[in-house]
Amino acid sequence: MADVISVHTPLNDETRDLITGEHFSAMKEGVLIVNCARGGIINESAMLAALESGKVAGAAFDVWSEEPPKSDVLKKMIEHPRMVVTPHLGANTFEAQTNVAIDVSREILNLLDGKPVENAVNIARFDPDLMAQMRPFMELAALLGDFISQLAPENPGKVVFNYTGKLAAHDCMPITVAGLAALLNRCTDQEINMVNANLVAERRGLIVEQSRSTESNFFSNLITMSLETPQGKRTIAGTLFEGTPKIVKMRDFDTDFTPEEHMLVMHYDDRPGLIGKIGTILGEAKVNIGAMNLGRRIKGGEAMVVLSVDSPVGGETLAKLSEAIGARFVKAVYLKR
């Protein structure tokens, strides 16, 4: 029979009262009991009775069914001369404290940099085993939210996040919150993050919805954000291509471009010579074009042109572009990278 019994198991429905009076009666006289797992695994009334009867020669606990202990049973156990008790300090070693300090510092830096926070207790998050896989999608959602917030009218009434493909097999709420925080950061002077994004949205009367479908016709994974505003609906969709973010839809125009720090978005009626005018005006302003994407439904119809440029475009240049091409809108987009 065992001289010492030490408990090391989680507390759940199967392990609650794992050791009771019946078990103590079958133990060796003078047994030693150690519980440094969870309070409630050992029935505490039975433990106290075993101590008082001398069946248990000594016990050591650092966990209780209620913390801090309040009941008479727990107070008598703690005061018993054959009981050794310590606070619940399982991680109170030099090594553990150093690791905790490093983890906390890393999390603070992630929050300040707008990156996903993995261990917060008051935000939606993925299981740690999924976080490395899902972090790029959280960053993609944040990028989409930042992008569309600079193009859509202010104060949208509703935002819908739609997830399709393999991604949709998981709870996508952390991705939704990441996109929502980026969207709201352009709408208010208040600092928005994954902790307060849902609360700020609720206070502003912004309805937030999400939908998921594992079926996808064109992309293995796709995130679509749709804003409903008094001026109409605005949509943006993105995916990851070999880990690189791609925006593949804006409104109902198919696109294919990688977001850069400085971008121009123009919506106009497609006519010959307009691309040349755009290049000329930007050249005169000493703005270099890095890449161009043209989306249109039919020849000579509406067109959506997205340019990545190497430097910011000033208001005077934007006005010249708008007049020269008869633009429905010309917007400069800045993405913090």
pLDDT number for residue 187:
77
pLDDT number for residue 115:
66
Q: How many angstroms separate the CA atoms of 290 and 32, rounded?
A: 74
Burial (CB count within 10 angstroms: exposed 0-12, middle 13-18, buried 19+), residue 21: middle
Q: How many angstroms separate the CA atoms of 261 and 239, rounded?
A: 18
Give the single-character DSSP code of 114.
T
- Residue of 80, 88, 212, 296 marked catalytic: 88
**Known catalytic residue at 67:** yes
Tens-binned pLDDT, residue by residue, of the chain (337 aa)? 899 999 999 999 899 999 999 999 999 999 999 998 999 999 999 999 999 999 999 999 999 998 888 899 999 999 999 999 988 776 777 888 898 899 889 888 877 776 667 777 777 666 767 778 888 999 999 999 999 999 988 888 999 999 999 999 988 999 999 999 999 988 777 888 888 899 999 999 999 999 999 987 789 999 999 999 888 899 999 999 998 999 999 988 999 999 999 999 999 998 899 999 999 999 999 999 999 998 887 777 888 999 999 999 999 999 999 999 999 889 999 998 6
Residue ranges of domains in the chain, CATH in brackets: 4-85 (3.40.50.720), 121-259 (3.30.1330.90), 260-337 (3.30.70.260)
- Residue of 67, 191, 202, 284 marked catalytic: 67
**Known catalytic residue at 88:** yes
Long-range contacts of the stretch 309-315 (C-beta < 8 A, 24+): 309/260, 309/262, 309/263, 309/264, 309/282, 310/262, 311/262, 311/286, 311/287, 312/262, 313/262, 313/264, 313/282, 313/285, 313/287, 314/285
Q: Who's near 14: CB < 8 A, 6+ residues apart?
A: none
- Both structure tokens of 61: 């606990």
pLDDT number for residue 116:
65
